[in-house]
Amino acid sequence: MSRNPMQQGHRSQRHRETATTARQRAFALSGEYLFTVVSAWLIPGVGHFLLGYRVRGLILGVSILGLFWVGQALAVPLQNPSLQDQRRYPLAVSREVNPVFFACQVGNGLSTLLANHRWGRPLYPNQNRDNIDRELPRSLNLAILFTSVSGLLNYLLLLHILDPRTWTQAKAEDEPLRGPLQ
């Protein structure tokens, strides 16, 4: 049975219009959007994971969180028997001691908030008046750099998730057509 070419043309045009409308409606300021954005801030990579980019989200999350926790591990002071109090906790994240770096680090969300709450208290009541602490970890500068860079990278991911085009693209694509690293 042959089809009328005019009907086919109308149908394909209607299909195209429906697809365009669906793409336009793919992004909306909804609870799902807010939940994804907040999740992406709290745990790096989760935003991409929730959008369907599973492998990419996992790789990004592991890389950024890995960088953050390697930085934290570098900021643990070496064990010194001569010290009365064994300060064996990471010193890289502290809102009171390093407020400027904390603004970068807090891009990591939950990890930074947890680290600040758990280990963020200053060692001394007044950092500027007390003597220089020779027991500080040698790689403290590297540790602060790593935690700050990982926080800034998660800000980048967050901007990508906040972009409506990312949502439109994610909804428009079919799951089976996605590549292994999508």
Partner 1 sequence: MQPLPTYLFYFLLACFVVALTTSMIRVRDPKKILAESSRFFVTVVVCLVLFGVLVTVLEWLFVRPLI
State how far the Cα of 98 lies from the Cα of 27, in Å rounded to an integer: 38
Position 146 contacts partner 1 (CB under 8 A):
yes
x/- letters, 85..124, toward partner 1 (CB under 8 A): ----------------------------------------
Q: How far is the CB of 52 from partner 1 (least distance, A)?
A: 13
The interface region with partner 1, picked from 26-34, 90-98, 106-114, 173-181 by CB under 8 A, is 173-181
Position 64 contacts partner 1 (CB under 8 A):
yes
Please choose, from the candidates 65, 55, 30, the residue with its C-alpha nearest in 3D space to the C-alpha of residue 146.
65
Tokens (6 digits) for 123: 């060692």
Helix (H) or strand (E) holding 155: helix 140-162
Q: How far is the CB of 121 from partner 1 (least distance, A)?
A: 26
Position 39 contacts partner 1 (CB under 8 A):
no
Between helix 140-162 and helix 31-42 the angle, nearest 10°, is 170
Position 165 contacts partner 1 (CB under 8 A):
no
- Cβ-Cβ contacts under 8 Å for 57 (sequence gap 6 or more): 45, 46, 47, 48, 49, 50, 51
The interface region with partner 1, picked from 23-31, 96-104, 107-115, 155-163 by CB under 8 A, is 155-163
Q: What values do phi and psi take at 95, rounded to 5?
A: -65, -35
State how far the Cα of 133 lies from the Cα of 113, in Å rounded to an integer: 25
Position 176 contacts partner 1 (CB under 8 A):
no
- Binding stretches for partner 1 (CB under 8 A): 56, 59-60, 63-64, 66-67, 70, 74, 138-139, 142, 145-146, 149-150, 153, 156-157, 160, 179-182
